[in-house]
A and B are shown apart, each in its own frame.
Chain A
Amino acid sequence: MINWPLLSVIIFLPLIGSIIILFIKEDDVTSNNIKWSALLTSIGTFILSLTLWFQFDYLNPSYQFEEKFRWFDDFNFYYHIGVDGVSLFMILLSTFLTPICILASWSNVKKRIKEYMLAFLFLETVMIGMFASVDILLFYIFFEAVLIPMYLIIGIWGGQRRIYASFKFFLYTLLGSVLMLIAIIVMYRNTESMSIEALQGNFFSFDTQIFLWLAFFASFAVKIPMWPFHTWLPDAHVEAPTAGSVILAGVLLKMGGYGFIRFSIGMLPEATDYFIPLIMALSIIAIIYTSLVALAQTDIKKLIAYSSVAHMGIVTIGIFLVNQQGLEGAMMQMISHGIVSAALFLCVGVIYDRMHTREISFYGGLVKRMPLYATVFMIFMLGSVGLPGTSGFVGEFLVIIGAFKFSSYVVIGAAFGIILSAVYMLYLYKRIIFGEITNVKLSEIIDINTREKLILIPLAISVIIMGVFPNIFLDPMRLSLELIITNYELANVR
């Protein structure tokens, strides 16, 4: 059907774009060229990645679009990439959000535009590459390489405490991932294989699995992040520029969930079974605790950052239920959160660009001056709460159905979290949007312009589409998830 390496082209197209940008000299005239070439590259990548979706074979649970080359002569490391139902939407999420990020930074990034675009395109390459890797070493390399552009994005274009936030982000996640490196080497030593595909199953003794699981947990729990490893997230989110927060919340947090599905459940089923109570406890604490913390925030971005932790708690519950509804729900919740929280950060960015503050008390009564903004913000806010008809509902609903099979205490915890999410989101919306305009500075604020419409309306449409037609997302991933569940149950049948 296709005999050119579609997936490699998708991975490396942004990198090629960034190399082209590297050779454009930056000044006032050419900075537009830089922006346009970055935007066109990322849109081209998005269109190519859509062809992945259209050509994807729903009836094939294993990897498609595979490419495999010998990479190291002395070890069984391959340049092996492919897409299955789990990674398909993660790749689409990355390629969808990158052009939006570039568009969102069109006018509010004023210094070092060239480096900014370079960082984003490089980030896109490593994100896609990470989700597409079938070789663990390749996965690891992309997984850690993500830190480099993100560190620069937070550190150079961030807010007041950007240096603290960027160091915390880098070192926290690095500490998690180096332990994963040790685990990867131990896996290789025991099996002589580095293929994610070949290692799906139960290949390690129980004791080994426990240690491997803990090492992977250290890495993914920091990344996703789970309570109590989440403290880097509010700092990073608050200090990052808008587009940085978008990509951080939209894609980078999903790396943790993706890793749990692939590694913890897929490769270490017995240990997963052993640790499920721990995960459930941590997730419920995360949901309730961070929701309450979110309620007390005075900074809009920080509030959304804490709400991310709470939503990711639902994702980890869904993943570690390891049944059809739970995993599908977790995947839906990840995709939905990727879009909704990205959109919420963009909405914050819109008013931040105008007023240069994120204090909730500063705002109020925006609906009078910005009706369109109030409308799209409402869609995303409801998506975050999980109103039926929006994307958030599908994921939370499926997770709760799955949780009934496991334990009703978990259901109570998760449902309580959903109620709390309605509380803090509606309260936030009320304080910002409704009421009278009391702050004189707000009396001249203008509604969203064309560029912002271009960013926010596609996101709003996709929130609705995901809520109304969840099956177009659930069908492609169903068989791949079933395969993972079958492996898991086979391992734990004894």
Chain B
Amino acid sequence: MLDSIFKVLLLPEIYLAILSFVCLIFGLYIKKNAFRKTSNFAVLILLTTALLVYLDYETDFANYQNLFSNSSFINFFKFLVLMGSISSILISKEYFLSMKLKNFEIPILLLFSTLGMMLMISANNLMSMYLAIELQSLALYVAAAIKRDSHSSAESGVKYFILGALSSGILLYGMSLVYGFTGSMDFNSINMVISNYDNLNLGLIFGLVFVLVGLAFKVSAVPFHMWTPDVYEGAPNSITAFFAIVPKIAAVALIYRFCLIPFEHSYSEWSQIITFLSIASMFLGGIAAIAQSNIKRLLAYSSIGHVGYILIALVAANNDGIKAVSIYMFSYMIMNVAIFAIILSIKIKNEYLVEINDLRGLSRSNPIVSLSIAIIMLSMAGIPPFIGFFGKFYVFIAAIKQELYVLSILGVIASVISAFYYLKIIKVMFFDENIEDKKPNFKISFQSKIILTITLFLIVCFIFYPSILVNISANLKI
């Protein structure tokens, strides 16, 4: 009996939707400490949702007239999204409080955005996919502009909104073309229709390209990445943390499902586009980041670079590719959680960290913190023995199994380029002396400390027992 309840499709989403509204009402009626209480409540909701996803882990079917489906791949990514969103709420609480951003709506916006992402991952129909994307984006547009009196925050919100709306328009147009030429919105039926064609007709190719452009915007792959650095820079740090950690996971899962389910049989068409996006993202991400002095812009370009590697695994389009992307996204999530947990705890003269050069001489005043940043940076650069290396390693295994030699060699060369700016951060912390009396002040809340410890433990110790994650990701079915 209990077992069959958990097997209801979309139970976690329904639960999350209902409780998000409860949370909203709860926030409205609380007078004192509304922000703190709602965000605690939000974390609790997300934790129980994660539990529901976990209990439902094995199911594999589609329902609600095939609007949504469920599979181990979907569940894995939902789990990642929930974990990312929980940790980003936890690490950013202190930041919100000290910046006087005490609107209780913030955690609720993040809840709705998370709900949108979960639906996005499990969408099995163009219509539900579009609605889910809009649900998560609308919440995020507001979140980016939440610091109303700040110029840059409002600017980043508007920028994000305009470009996001543009990309949604392109996406929608592409979808209409796909629908027009296949006569179906459903992923599986599109797949059936396309499998009967010898080659795609022009309209369908146009549709595919438009949809991929829209999705590339969401994962911020070059050349549709322009919004990322600006939005990251302008938004409040903790919202940037959320942007960096969570929506990427969902968008990546969606682009995988979109390419591998409805367009499974037109590999030769979309793989060209994805290959280009991948190479461009890796190189532009690596080269443009070198010139950045703002740490948030740097992390934005770094995430663009990571998307490049993730797309290599998509071009590989085999089971190893799916395994590689799940390991990569897991490592991406924990590395970003860890770095943002640190960034959100460093203050220089009562201002939160912005410039990389403000980290100067950090290794003298806070050796442990700078060691942690160094480990995260080396892991992001893909230097063994840290987890980031294994993400890249699995990506290249998948690529080489598919004989994508050129792409892999370009990939490793780009990883050397991007190693430069990760090393630059280590250089600033360890090699440069602190000349001005700008002493970085590191004050970390208890919750962030726990999250930081867990993530660092995973980054460093993954090598000793990789089999848990590897076994889970090896059995994922898209």
With contacts A72-B467, A178-B413 taken as known, whether A145 is within 8 angstroms of B385 at the C-beta atoms is: yes
Q: Taking the complex as formed, is A71 at the interface, i.e. its CB lies under 8 A from any CB of chain B?
A: yes
- Decide if B430 touches A156 in the complex (CB within 8 Å): yes
| Contact between chains at B383 and A166 (CB < 8 Å) | no
The bracket for how many chain B residues form the interface is 20 to 34
A73 with B400: CB separation less than 8 A: no
**Interface flag for B226 (CB, 8 Å):** no
- Which A residues between 189 and 214 are near B, CB-CB below 8 angstroms? 189
Closest-by-CB residue of A relative to B403 is A189
Residues of the A chain whose Cβ atoms lie less than 8 Å from the Cβ of B378 = 148
Q: State the Cβ distance, A225 to closest chain B Cβ, in Å.
A: 17
CB-CB under 8 A for A182 and B412, given A148-B378, A155-B431: yes
Inter-chain contact B431/A166, CB cutoff 8 Å: yes
Given A145-B385, A179-B412, residue A73 in contact with residue B467 (CB < 8 A)? yes
A170–B412 CB distance below 8 A? no
Say whether B384 contacts A140, CB under 8 Å: yes
Q: How many residues on A have C-beta within 8 angstroms of the other chain's C-beta atoms?
A: 34
Neighbour of B367 across the interface among A115, A144, A147, A185, CB < 8 A:
A115
Taking a contact as CB atoms under 8 Å apart, the answer to whether A71 and B466 are in contact is yes
Which residues of A sit under 8 angstroms from B409, Cβ to Cβ?
Answer: 179, 182
Contact of A156 with B393 in the complex, beta carbons under 8 Å = no
Across the interface, which residues of B come within 8 angstroms of A189, CB to CB?
A: 397, 400-401
Asked if B471 and A74 sit within 8 Å, CB to CB, the answer is: yes
Interface of chain A residues 160 through 175 with chain B (CB within 8 A): 162-163, 166-167, 170-171, 174-175
| A302 to B214 Cα, complex, angstroms | 56
Check if A109 is an interface residue, CB within 8 A of chain B. Answer: no
User: Within 8 Å of chain A (Cβ to Cβ): is B420?
Assistant: yes
In the complex the two chains form, what is the Cα distance from A115 to B419 in whole Å? 22
Q: Which of B393, B400, B427, B431 contacts A186 (CB 8 A)?
A: B400
Q: Tell me whether B384 and A141 are in contact (CB under 8 A).
A: yes
- Measured between beta carbons, the chain B residues less than 8 angstroms from A166 are 427, 431
**Residue A152 at the chain B interface, CB threshold 8 Å:** yes
In the complex, which residue of chain B has the Cβ closest to the Cβ of A129?
A: B385
Please encode chain B, from 387 to 400, with 1 for each CB lying within 8 Å of some chain A CB and 0 for all others: 00100010011001
Tell me the nearest residue of chain B to A178, going by C-beta: B412
* Binary contact track A102-146/B, C-beta < 8 Å → 1, others 0: 000000000010110000000000000000000000001100110
User: Is A260 located at the chain interface by the 8 A CB criterion?
Assistant: no
* Inter-subunit contact A185/B383 (CB<8 Å): no
For the complex, what is the distance from the CA of A401 to the CA of B446, rounded to whole Å?
69
| B470: interface (CB < 8 Å) | yes
B273 at the interface (CB under 8 A from A): no
Is there contact, CB below 8 Å, between A73 and B384? no
Assess the A182–B400 pair: CB atoms within 8 A. yes
Question: Are B413 and A144 in contact (CB-based, < 8 A)?
Answer: no
A152–B430 contact, CB under 8 A? yes
Chain A minimum-CB-distance residue to B401: A189
A174 pairs with B419, CB closer than 8 A:
yes
Considering only residues 59-77 of chain B, those with a C-beta below 8 Å from chain A are: none
Q: Which residue of B lies closest to A175 (CB)?
A: B416
Q: Would A141 and B389 be within 8 Å (CB), given that A148-B378, A156-B430, A163-B427 are in contact?
A: yes
Closest to A188 in B: B397
Using known A-B contacts A174-B419, A185-B397, A186-B400, determine if residue A72 contacts B385 with beta carbons closer than 8 Å.
Answer: no
Would A167 and B420 count as touching, CB distance under 8 A?
yes
Residue of A nearest to B412 (CB): A178
Q: Is the CB of B423 within 8 A of A170?
A: yes
A15 to chain B, nearest CB (A): 11
**Does B281 touch A at the CB level, under 8 Å?**
no
Q: How far is the CA of A436 from the CA of B412 in the complex (A)?
A: 56
Query: Which residues of chain B are within 8 angstroms of A114 by Cβ–Cβ distance?
Result: 367
Contact partners of A216 in chain B: CB under 8 A: none
Q: Distance in Å from the Cβ of B433 to the closest Cβ of chain A?
A: 10
Is A345's beta carbon under 8 Å from chain B? no
Which residues of chain B come closer than 8 Å to A152, judged between CB atoms?
A: 426, 430
Nearest 3 Cβ contacts at the A-B interface: A178-B412, A141-B384, A73-B467
11 contacts between A and B (CB under 8 A): A72-B470, A73-B474, A114-B367, A151-B423, A162-B431, A167-B423, A174-B416, A174-B419, A178-B415, A182-B408, A182-B409
**Can you add 19 more A-B contacts, CB < 8 Å, to A141-B463, A147-B383, A155-B427?**
A74-B470, A74-B471, A74-B474, A115-B367, A141-B384, A141-B389, A145-B385, A148-B378, A152-B430, A156-B430, A167-B420, A171-B423, A174-B383, A174-B416, A174-B419, A182-B409, A185-B408, A188-B397, A189-B400
